[in-house]
Each structure stands twice: as C-alpha cells, then as structure tokens.
Amino acid sequence: MNVKIRSIEIEHPQNVVKNEFYVKLFKEQGKDIRRMLECFGKSERKVVNNNSDTTVTLGVKAALKALESANLTGNDIDIIIFSSQFPEYTCPTQALIVHDAIGGKEDAMVMDLNVNCIGMLVALDSATRYLLQNHNFKRALIIGADYATIHAKKTDEFVYPMFGDCGCAIILEKTEEDCGMIDSTYYTESPKYDSVVYPKCGASSFYKNTTSHEDMKLGWTECDDNVVYIAKNSINKLLKNNNLKVSDIKAFCFSQFASSLVYGCADILRIEEEKVIYVGDKYGYTGTSSPLIALYEGIKKGQIKRGDKIMFWSIAATRTACALLFKY
C-alpha cells in the first residue's frame, strides 16, 4: 500500500504588489533595496488587502478547491492537518475550523502543526505515515497557509518586501499504485534559535503597557547564506540511501525564499536548470507552503507528471530543514 497525491490546489489574493511599491517605500526611509530584490528574485507578490482574508480563510478556500478537484466531500477525509507559522488562532485549532467548513465527519482526526517554513513538508511526511500505519485512515487533507505580510515590519527591508500571502491544500489517498513517499531526512541546528522570533516580544508580553505594536511583529535579525550546504548534504543522503542519482529526479521543489537560494542549490548539486522550479518571483515567499506551490506550478505547466520522482527541500528558522523524496 502506498499514498498518492490525489489533488493539489492553491488560494491566493488577487491583489498583486510589484517591486516599485517597496523600492519607493524604502527609498523614503533612506534605503536602496533594488539590488537586494534582484538578488532574491522578487518581482511581484500576492498580498491580502481586505479585512476578511486571514491565514485560516486562505486555507479553507484552498481545501474546498482540493476537494472539488478530487470529486470528494468532507465526509471522505480521515485526517486534517493545518500547517502555519502565523495562525489566526491557536485555540481552536485551525484544522477544526477547516473540518467545519468542509462538513467533516465525526471520526476524523484534526490537528495544527507549526514547524515554521518546513511545516507543510513535515505534514506531508507525517500524514503519509499516519495513513500507512492506521487501517482506519484512507485519506488526509493537508493545508499550508500563512497571512504573513501583516506581521512584517514596514521598516524591515529584509522581510516586508519578500513575503506573499497564500494557502495550499493537498489530498493524500491510499493506493496500490507505484507512487508516494520514498524517503525523508531532517536537519536541526538550534543555537541561533532567537535569530527569527514571532512575536518578537513573546506572547506573555502582549498585555504589558511597555509592549509596543512593533514589538508584537516578526523580529528577524539574521540571514545565513550557507544553507545551500545543508541542502546538498540532505539531498545527497537521500539519493545515496535510495540508490539514485540527481539525473533520476525529474523536478526539484526547493524553498522559494530567494532565487539565489534555489539556483545556488542547483549549482552546488549540479542540477539541470530546467529541473528546478522557481515561483518566488510570482507569489513572493509564502513560508510553509512555498515548496508545494512550486509542485502545484510544475504540475500545472506539465513539467511534473505521474510517475516522476520529485525532491523537496526547505529550511526554517533557524535552522531546521527537511528533504523529502516523493514519486508523484
């Protein structure tokens, strides 16, 4: 028995913000960010500009799309996992809200998961193992969503111009077809854990009179440009453990944080450029969902087809990483 990706869909705001807006904003602050935007490969990003969309609504809309494209209902789903690093609520779980929105059944398992930017990959890995190990489970709905832009400081040129808002949903299903998860590997290095913190002040400081609005937002103090070596080691480990070569992999869906990261990984691993999918110039950086949005675009454009082997890799603050080898 294996687990296949039956459907994948995304939901993003229709509001598109291009580089010119951010260049002007930071120029007024005495900062020239044009070279940085070029280095990060950003062109435009989808950004929420209304009072109704949130992390959870983006996730719900993506989930409903995934169910429709798979010709399924909420009653067909046994597991719901919602991954986000900027949840609208910590109580109740966002997965519970999705369960209600899709008309889920009573004997379904629901849970939220937060592993920051690698969360949706971890959810994909975890849900696959849940399905294989429990004979009562047949299908899982995984959602990865973040309304990130609202939590970024407008004075932080390293964060505010990079993010976009998006939701992604995948339906996994048990099958006897030759497909599904092949292997996974993880990397964790924790001493720099305080380099990226949200909320910067800590939740216990929300109600203190000394806490400012800005202190409640995302605090980002470091960017490490050596992460391509983490990707190289993790991916080479998976390839070696499964007697595969880079040439055996049809597509590489990396973190979409920056084009320099994506193509830096491709260069160090000697991957043909056409096998690497980069969509960060179109969506911005969407956090937990970013490597799966690359998968969505690869399938949509015909770059990824059934039976293809796909390598996923992403890194989260600061520093945990996950690599997955999957047969679509």
Cα–Cα distances (Å) from 18 to 74, 270, 283, in that order, read 37, 32, 10
Mark whether 157 and 267 lie in a shared domain: no
- Torsional class of 302: left (φ above 0), alpha (ψ -120 to 50), beta (otherwise): left
Residue 262: the pLDDT is 96
Mark whether 8 and 149 lie in a shared domain: yes
pLDDT at residue 272 greater than cutoff 80? yes
Mark whether 197 and 151 lie in a shared domain: no
| Cα 124 off chain centre by | 11
Looking at 157, 177, 197, the residue that finishes a domain is: 177
Cα–Cα distances (Å) from 242 to 57, 72, 246, in that order, read 39, 34, 11
Mark whether 157 and 190 lie in a shared domain: no
Residue 192: the pLDDT is 85
Mark whether 76 and 11 lie in a shared domain: yes
Residue 220: the pLDDT is 87
* Mean pLDDT score across all residues of the chain: 96
The pLDDT-based confidence of 224 (bands split at 50, 70, 90) is: low
Mark whether 187 and 309 lie in a shared domain: yes
Residue 223: the pLDDT is 64
pLDDT at residue 258 greater than cutoff 90? yes
DSSP 37-72: HHHHT--EEE---SSS--HHHHHHHHHHHHHHHHT-
Mark whether 128 and 260 lie in a shared domain: no
Domain that holds residue 241: 181-327
The answer to pTM > 0.75 is yes
Helix (H, G, I), strand (E, B) or coil at 294: helix
pLDDT at residue 131 greater than cutoff 70? yes
Residue with tokens 């459907």: 7
Looking at 140, 162, 177, the residue that finishes a domain is: 177
Reading across the β-sheet that carries 139-146, which strands appear in turn? 2-11, 166-175, 139-146, 79-83, 109-113
Q: Considering the chain, what percentage of its residues have pLDDT values greater than 70?
A: 99
Residue 115: the pLDDT is 96
DSSP 304-324: S-TT-EEEEEEEETTTEEEEE
Cβ–Cβ under 8 Å, residues 288 and 116? yes
What b/e sequence results for 87-117 when a residue is b if at least 16 CB atoms lie within 10 Å of its CB, and e otherwise? beeeeebbbbbbbebbebeeebbbbbbebbb
Nearest 5°: phi and psi at 217? -90, -175
DSSP 118-144: GHHHHHHHHHHHHHHH-TT--EEEEEE
Helix (H, G, I), strand (E, B) or coil at 209: coil
- How does pLDDT run across 284-320, given as a tens digit for each residue? 999 999 999 999 999 999 999 999 999 999 999 878 9
Mark whether 194 and 162 lie in a shared domain: no
Average pLDDT of span 141-168: 96
Mark whether 108 and 257 lie in a shared domain: no
Q: Tell which wins on pLDDT, 182 or 214.
A: 182
pLDDT at residue 226 greater than cutoff 90? no
- How does pLDDT run across 63-96, given as a tens digit for each residue? 999 999 999 999 999 999 999 999 999 999 999 9
The pLDDT-based confidence of 209 (bands split at 50, 70, 90) is: confident
The domain that holds 298 is classified in CATH as: 3.40.47.10
Cα–Cα distance, 217 to 220 (Å, whole number): 10
State how many domains the chain has.
2
pLDDT at residue 122 greater than cutoff 90? yes
Looking at 177, 209, 229, the residue that finishes a domain is: 177
Nearest 5°: phi and psi at 151? -95, 0
